[in-house]
A and B are shown apart, each in its own frame.
Chain A
Amino acid sequence: MERRNFIKTAILGGIAGAVQLKNNDLFAGEKMSVSASNDLVAVMGGEPAEMYKKGIAAMGGISKYVKKGQKVVVKPNIGWDKRPEFAANTNPELIGEIVKDCFAAGAAEVIVFDHTCDEWQSCYKNSGIEAAAKAAGAKLGFAHDEKYYKSVPLPMGVRLKEVKIHESIIDCDVWINVPVLKNHGGARMTIAMKNYMGIVWDRRFWHSNDLQQCIADCATYPKMPVLNIVDAYRIMTQNGPKGKSIEDVQNPKALFFSADIVAVDTAAVRFFNQFREMKLEEVSHIGIAEKMKLGTTDIDKLKVERIKIG
Chain B
Amino acid sequence: MNYKILKWVRVAVSLIFIIGITSAFIFFVNRESNFFSQFLKIQFVPSLLGIFSGGAAVFVILIVLTLLFGRVYCSTLCPLGTFQDTSTRVSNLFKSKKNRRFSYDKPKNWIRYTILSVTAIFFIGGVTAPIAWLDPYSNWGRVSNEIISRTEQLIHNALANIFPEAIFFRSYAHFAVGSFIFALLFIAAVIIFSSLRGRLYCNTVCPVGTLLGLFSKISLYKPAIDHSKCNKCRLCVLNCKSQCIDLDSESVDESRCVSCLNCMQVCKRGAISYQISWRKRVVEQSDRKEPVSNERRKALIAMGLVGTALAAKAINFKPLLSSKPKITGIAPPGAVSIDHLKRNCTACYACVSACPNNIIQPATTEYGLDGVLLPVLSFKHHFCGYECNMCTTVCPNDALKPMSVEDKQLSQIGEAQFFLEKCIVYTDGTDCGACDEHCPTKAITMVPYGDGSLYIPSLNVDLCIGCGGCEYICPAVPEKSMVIYAKTIHGVALKPTEDKQEKVKVDNFGF
Chain A interface residues (CB < 8 Å from chain B) = 42, 44, 81, 117-119, 121-122, 126, 139, 142, 144-145, 147-148, 184-188, 203-205, 207-213, 237-239, 241-242, 244-245, 247-248, 250-252, 254, 266-267, 270-275, 282, 284, 299-300, 304, 306
Q: What separation, in Å, do the CA atoms of A179 and B311 have in the docked complex?
A: 59
Interface flag for B440 (CB, 8 Å)? yes
Known: A186-B432, A186-B455, A271-B509. A242 touches B438 (CB 8 A): yes
Of B168, B424, B510, the contact of A271 (CB 8 Å cutoff) = B510
Of B169, B430, B433, B501, the contact of A210 (CB 8 Å cutoff) = B430
Interface flag for B473 (CB, 8 Å)? yes
Q: What separation, in Å, do the CA atoms of A306 and B437 have in the docked complex?
A: 33
Interface flag for B290 (CB, 8 Å)? no
Q: What separation, in Å, do the CA atoms of A121 and B509 have in the docked complex?
A: 35
Are B500's CB and A207's CB within 8 A? Answer: no
Interface flag for B228 (CB, 8 Å)? no
When distances are taken between beta carbons in the complex, the residues of chain A under 8 Å from B434 are 186, 203-204, 207
Of B171, B431, B440, the contact of A145 (CB 8 Å cutoff) = B171
Interface flag for B499 (CB, 8 Å)? yes
When distances are taken between beta carbons in the complex, the residues of chain B under 8 Å from A119 are 356-357, 382, 385, 388
For the complex formed, measure the closest distance between the CB of B57 and the CB atoms of chain A, giving whole angstroms: 33
Do most interface residues of chain B lie in helix, strand or loop, or is the interface mixed?
loop
Known: A186-B446, A271-B509. A242 touches B440 (CB 8 A): yes
Q: What separation, in Å, do the CA atoms of A254 and B165 have in the docked complex?
A: 34
Q: What separation, in Å, do the CA atoms of A137 and B58 have in the docked complex?
A: 48
Are B511's CB and A122's CB within 8 A? Answer: no
Interface flag for B5 (CB, 8 Å)? no
Give a binary string over B442-479; 1 marks a CB under 8 Å from any A CB, 0 the rest: 10011000000101000000000000000001111100
Query: Could you write out 7 A-B pairs with CB less than 8 Å apart?
Result: A142-B168, A186-B436, A187-B431, A188-B431, A210-B430, A212-B430, A244-B442
When distances are taken between beta carbons in the complex, the residues of chain B under 8 Å from A210 are 428, 430-431
Are B428's CB and A208's CB within 8 A? Answer: yes
In the complex, the chain B residue whose C-beta lies closest to that of A269 is: B510
Are A185's CB and B455's CB within 8 A? Answer: yes
Are A242's CB and B475's CB within 8 A? Answer: no
For the complex formed, measure the closest distance between the CB of A285 and the CB atoms of chain B, giving whole angstroms: 9
In the complex, the chain B residue whose C-beta lies closest to that of A109 is: B165
Of B169, B357, B453, B509, the contact of A270 (CB 8 Å cutoff) = B509
Q: What separation, in Å, do the CA atoms of A44 and B508 have in the docked complex?
A: 9
Q: What separation, in Å, do the CA atoms of A273 and B386 have in the docked complex?
A: 30
For the complex formed, measure the closest distance between the CB of A117 and the CB atoms of chain B, giving whole angstroms: 6
Are B496's CB and A186's CB within 8 A? Answer: no
For the complex formed, measure the closest distance between the CB of B481 and the CB atoms of chain A, giving whole angstroms: 10
Are B504's CB and A274's CB within 8 A? Answer: yes
When distances are taken between beta carbons in the complex, the residues of chain B under 8 Å from A237 are 501
**Can you add 15 more A-B contacts, CB < 8 Å, to A207-B432, A209-B430, A250-B504?**
A117-B473, A144-B171, A145-B168, A184-B437, A185-B433, A185-B455, A187-B433, A204-B474, A207-B475, A208-B475, A210-B428, A210-B430, A247-B499, A271-B510, A272-B510
Are B504's CB and A211's CB within 8 A? Answer: no
Of A211, A245, A284, the contact of B432 (CB 8 Å cutoff) = A211
For the complex formed, measure the closest distance between the CB of B154 and the CB atoms of chain A, giving whole angstroms: 15
When distances are taken between beta carbons in the complex, the residues of chain B under 8 Å from A270 are 509-511
Taking CB atoms and an 8 Å cut-off, the chain B residues in 406-443 that contact chain A are 424, 428, 430-434, 436-442
For the complex formed, measure the closest distance between the CB of B484 and the CB atoms of chain A, giving whole angstroms: 17
When distances are taken between beta carbons in the complex, the residues of chain A under 8 Å from B431 are 186-188, 210-212, 284
Chain B interface residues (CB < 8 Å from chain A) = 31, 165, 168-171, 356-357, 382, 385-388, 424, 428, 430-434, 436-442, 445-446, 453, 455, 473-477, 496-501, 503-504, 506, 508-511
In the complex, the chain A residue whose C-beta lies closest to that of B164 is: A142
Q: What separation, in Å, do the CA atoms of A30 and B36 have in the docked complex?
A: 55
For the complex formed, measure the closest distance between the CB of A218 and the CB atoms of chain B, giving whole angstroms: 15
Interface centre among A119, A209, A247 (most CB of B within 10 A): A119
Are B169's CB and A267's CB within 8 A? Answer: no
Of B474, B499, B504, B508, the contact of A239 (CB 8 Å cutoff) = B499
When distances are taken between beta carbons in the complex, the residues of chain A under 8 Å from B455 are 185-186
Are B476's CB and A248's CB within 8 A? Answer: no
When distances are taken between beta carbons in the complex, the residues of chain B under 8 Å from A44 are 509
Are B506's CB and A122's CB within 8 A? Answer: no
In the complex, the chain B residue whose C-beta lies closest to that of A146 is: B171
When distances are taken between beta carbons in the complex, the residues of chain A under 8 Å from B496 are 244-245
Q: What separation, in Å, do the CA atoms of A145 and B164 have in the docked complex?
A: 12
Interface centre among B434, B453, B501, B509 (most CB of A within 10 A): B509
In the complex, the chain A residue whose C-beta lies closest to that of B355 is: A119
Are B504's CB and A185's CB within 8 A? Answer: no
In the complex, the chain B residue whose C-beta lies closest to that of A186 is: B433
Q: What separation, in Å, do the CA atoms of A122 and B357 have in the docked complex?
A: 10
Q: What separation, in Å, do the CA atoms of A185 and B469 have in the docked complex?
A: 15
Q: What separation, in Å, do the CA atoms of A270 and B509 have in the docked complex?
A: 8
Q: What separation, in Å, do the CA atoms of A282 and B453 have in the docked complex?
A: 7
In the complex, the chain A residue whose C-beta lies closest to that of B446 is: A185
For the complex formed, measure the closest distance between the CB of A286 and the CB atoms of chain B, giving whole angstroms: 13
Q: What separation, in Å, do the CA atoms of A144 and B498 have in the docked complex?
A: 31
Q: What separation, in Å, do the CA atoms of A122 and B430 have in the docked complex?
A: 32
Are A252's CB and B506's CB within 8 A? Answer: yes
Are A250's CB and B436's CB within 8 A? Answer: no
In the complex, the chain A residue whose C-beta lies closest to that of B452 is: A282
Are B511's CB and A271's CB within 8 A? Answer: yes
Are A122's CB and B387's CB within 8 A? Answer: yes
When distances are taken between beta carbons in the complex, the residues of chain A under 8 Å from B436 are 185-186
Are A242's CB and B439's CB within 8 A? Answer: yes
When distances are taken between beta carbons in the complex, the residues of chain A under 8 Å from B388 are 119, 122
Q: What separation, in Å, do the CA atoms of A117 and B383 have in the docked complex?
A: 10
Are A274's CB and B499's CB within 8 A? Answer: no
Are B509's CB and A42's CB within 8 A? Answer: yes
When distances are taken between beta carbons in the complex, the residues of chain A under 8 Å from B170 are 145
Known: A186-B437, A211-B432, A244-B442. A275 touches B504 (CB 8 A): yes
Q: What separation, in Å, do the CA atoms of A242 and B476 have in the docked complex?
A: 21
In the complex, the chain B residue whose C-beta lies closest to that of A45 is: B507
Are B438's CB and A238's CB within 8 A? Answer: no
In the complex, the chain A residue whose C-beta lies closest to that of B506 is: A274
Q: What separation, in Å, do the CA atoms of A110 and B171 have in the docked complex?
A: 25
Q: What separation, in Å, do the CA atoms of A184 and B437 have in the docked complex?
A: 7
Are B501's CB and A247's CB within 8 A? Answer: yes
Q: What separation, in Å, do the CA atoms of A207 and B436 have in the docked complex?
A: 12
Q: What separation, in Å, do the CA atoms of A213 and B382 have in the docked complex?
A: 26
